[in-house]
Amino acid sequence: MSKDDKPLVDLDDFPATRTCTYINAANVALMCRDTERVITAWYKDVAENGSNNFNEAAEDAVFDDLHQAAARLFHATPPDIAVGSSATELLSSLAWAVMPGPDANVVSGADITFPAAVYPWSRVARLTGCEIRLAKAHDGYVDPDELANLIDDQTAVVCLSHVEFRSGQRYDLSAYAELAHQHGALLVVDATQSAGAVPIDAPGMGVDAIVTGAYKWLCGPFGAAAMYLAPPLQTSLDPGLVGFRSHADMWDIRADHLTYADNASRFEFSTMAYGCAVGLTKSIDYLVDIGIDRIFTYNQSLADAIIVGLETLGADVTSPRNPNERSAIVTARFPGQEAADIAQKLKDANVRVALRGDVVRFSPHLYNRLEDVNRVLHVLASD
Ligand X SMILES: Cc1ncc(COP(=O)(O)O)c(C=O)c1O
**CB-nearer residue toward ligand X: 213 or 309:** 213
> Which residue intervals of the chain are DSSP H helices?
33-49, 56-74, 87-98, 119-128, 144-149, 173-182, 202-205, 231-236, 274-290, 292-312, 339-348, 370-381
Candidate ranges 8-16, 186-194, 245-253, 336-344; the one touching ligand X (CB under 6 A): 186-194
Considering only residues 40 to 69 of the shown chain, the ones binding ligand X according to CB under 6 A are none
Torsion on CA atoms 329, 213, 239, 210, rounded to nearest 10: -40
One of 161, 234, 246, 319 touching ligand X (CB under 6 A): 161
Instruction: Please report how close the Cβ of residue 6 comes to ligand X at its closest, in angstroms.
Output: 30
- Among candidates 363, 360, 322, which has minimal Cα distance to 339? 360
Instruction: Please report how close the Cβ of residue 110 comes to ligand X at its closest, in angstroms.
Output: 12
Q: Does 263 bind ligand X (CB under 6 A)?
A: no
Q: Judged by CB under 6 A, how many residues of this single chain contact ligand X?
A: 12
- What is the CA 342 to chain-centroid distance, rounded? 27
Candidate ranges 120-128, 188-196, 245-253, 360-368; the one touching ligand X (CB under 6 A): 188-196
Q: Does 193 bind ligand X (CB under 6 A)?
A: yes
**CB-nearer residue toward ligand X: 122 or 154:** 122
Strands 105-110 and 155-161: parallel
- Among candidates 307, 319, 318, 382, which has minimal Cα distance to 351? 382
Residues 6+ apart with CB under 8 A from 70: 76, 81, 83, 226, 228, 284
DSSP, collapsed to helix, strand or coil, labels residue 196 as: coil
One of 105, 155, 192, 263 touching ligand X (CB under 6 A): 192
Considering only residues 69 to 128 of the shown chain, the ones binding ligand X according to CB under 6 A are 86-88, 114, 116
String marking each residue 214-253 x if it binds ligand X according to CB under 6 A: -----------x----------------------------
Instruction: Please report how close the Cβ of residue 190 comes to ligand X at its closest, in angstroms.
Output: 5
Amino acid found at 166: R
Instruction: Please report how close the Cβ of residue 307 comes to ligand X at its closest, in angstroms.
Output: 21
- What is the CA 270 to chain-centroid distance, rounded? 22
**CB-nearer residue toward ligand X: 122 or 337:** 122
Q: Does 194 bind ligand X (CB under 6 A)?
A: no
Strands 354-356 and 359-362: antiparallel
**CB-nearer residue toward ligand X: 102 or 115:** 115
**CB-nearer residue toward ligand X: 196 or 309:** 196
As beta bridge partners, residue 279 has none
**CB-nearer residue toward ligand X: 1 or 225:** 225
Q: Is 357 left (phi over 0), alpha (psi -120 to 50) or beta?
A: left
DSSP, collapsed to helix, strand or coil, labels residue 338 as: coil
One of 165, 176, 286, 298 touching ligand X (CB under 6 A): 165
For binding to ligand X (CB under 6 A), which residues are involved? Answer: 86-88, 114, 116, 161, 165, 190, 192-193, 213, 225
